[in-house]
Amino acid sequence: MPKKISDLKKALEQEKDIHTDFRESMTYGEYLSLDQILSSQKRLSGHHDEMLFIIIHQVSELWMKLILHELRSSIEDIGKDDMQPAFKKLARVSKIQSQIIQAWDVLSTMTPAEYLEFRDSLGRASGFQSYQYRLIEFALGYKSEAILKIYEKDPDVHRELQEAYRAPGLYDAAIGALAREGFPINPELINRDYTVVYAGDPTVAAAWEEVYRDVGRYWDLYQLAEKMVDVEDWLQQWRFRHMKTVERIIGFKKGTGGSSGVGYLRQVLDHRFFPELWDLRTTL
C-alpha cells in the first residue's frame, strides 16, 4: 500500500468521533441543498463546453447574491452611523468582486469555435438580463427605467427591481452621513428623487475634500470613502474583464440579448458611481 494512502487510513482510524450514521441527522449535502444546485446544469446543446458556460454564470450569480446581501446591509448600517460593520461588509464585497473577476479567466479558456457550437441554444438569453447585476448597479446609484421592461415576465423580480430603482443607494447613504456630521450639504440631495442618476454636487465635493484634508478628525468618513472607492475600482475591473472576454470569444458581434456586445460594455466603463471621490484625487 502506498505510504500516502497508508497515512491517510491511519489518520482516519484515529478519528474515533467522526459521524458515519446520518439516518436521523442532517448531512452537509442536505444543508447546502446540493442535490438542487448540482442538478441545475442543464446543457441544451450537449456540447462539452456548455457546462463551463453554465457553471461560470451560475457561480457569478451566487457571488452577486452575496454582494447584494452585503451592500444592502451596509447601506442600513451607514444610515444608522454604525460604520464599523459597514466597513467589514464593504471590504467583503471587494473580495467577492475579485473572485468574480477571476471567473472570466476560466471562461476565456473557451475558444470562439467552441462557443459557436452551442451559442444558438441560448436563443435570446444573455447575461445582459442578469437582474442581480442590475440590482447591484441600482444599489451603487446607476439606474435606468428603460431596463426594467426586460423583467416584466417575472412579476416578483420586476417588483424587486422597481423597489430598488426608487430606493437610496450606497452613495446616497454616504452623503447622508456627511450631512449628519455637520457638512453643509445641499438640502436637495437629502431625500431626493433616487431614480435620477447622481451626477455630482459642489457641496459634496467640498465635504469630501475636507474629509481627506483632515483624516484624523473624520477618520470614519475617510475609511468609508476609501471602501467605496475599492468597490467601484473592483467593479470597473470586473466590467473590463467582461468586455475583453466577450471580445476574445465573439469579437464585435451583437450579444444574444440584442445588445451591441463589446460596444455596450465599453460604453459603461466610462460611468463613475462616486464622482467626487475620484475628482478629489486631482484637486487635493
pLDDT digit string (tens) for 25-62? 999 999 999 999 999 999 999 899 999 999 999 999 99
Asked whether residue 36 is assigned to any structural domain, the reply reads no
In the predicted model, what is the mean pLDDT of the chain? 93
HSE value, Cβ hemisphere, 13 Å, CA-based, for 179: 16
Give the model's pLDDT for residue 232: 97
Asked whether residue 23 is assigned to any structural domain, the reply reads no
111 is in an annotated binding site: no
Q: Look-up: residue for cell 447613504? A: 173
pLDDT tens profile 221-276? 999 999 999 999 999 999 999 899 889 988 988 878 888 888 888 888 888 999 99
Q: Where are the alpha helices (DSSP H) in the chain?
A: 3-14, 28-31, 34-38, 50-79, 83-107, 112-116, 131-139, 155-166, 170-180, 202-213, 219-250, 262-268, 275-283
Residues in the chain: 284
Asked whether residue 25 is assigned to any structural domain, the reply reads no
- Whether residue 5 has pLDDT greater than 80: no
Asked whether residue 92 is assigned to any structural domain, the reply reads yes
CB 78 within 8 A of CB 89: no
Instruction: Name the domain count of the chain.
Output: 1
How buried is 145 (Cβ within 10 angstroms: 0-12 exposed, 13-18 middle, 19+ buried)?
A: exposed
115 is in an annotated binding site: yes
Local confidence band at 101 (pLDDT 50, 70, 90 cut-offs): very high
55 is in an annotated binding site: yes
Asked whether residue 12 is assigned to any structural domain, the reply reads no
Nine-digit cell string for 188: 436637495
96 is in an annotated binding site: no
Please, what sign has the CA dihedral across residues 190, 195, 198, 201? negative
- Kindly give, in sequence order, each residue whose CB lies less than 8 Å from that of residue 147, ignoring residues fewer than 6 positions away: 134
Local confidence band at 1 (pLDDT 50, 70, 90 cut-offs): low
Tell me how crowded residue 5 is: count the other CB atoms within 10 A of its CB.
9
HEC assignment per residue over 85-153: HHHHHHHHHHHHHHHHHHHHHHHCCCCHHHHHCCHHHHCCCCHHHCHHHHHHHHHCCCCCHHHHHHHCC
> Which residues form the domain of 175?
46-121+128-250+261-282
Asked whether residue 134 is assigned to any structural domain, the reply reads yes
57 is in an annotated binding site: yes
- Kindly give, in sequence order, each residue whose CB lies less than 8 Å from that of residue 180, ignoring residues fewer than 6 positions away: 81
Residue type at position 185: I
Nearest to 163 by CA among 155, 175, 174: 155
Check which CATH number belongs to the domain holding 266 and give it.
1.20.58.480
- Whether residue 180 has pLDDT greater than 80: yes
- Whether residue 14 has pLDDT greater than 60: yes
Asked whether residue 230 is assigned to any structural domain, the reply reads yes
Asked whether residue 32 is assigned to any structural domain, the reply reads no
Give the model's pLDDT for residue 181: 98
Give the model's pLDDT for residue 95: 97
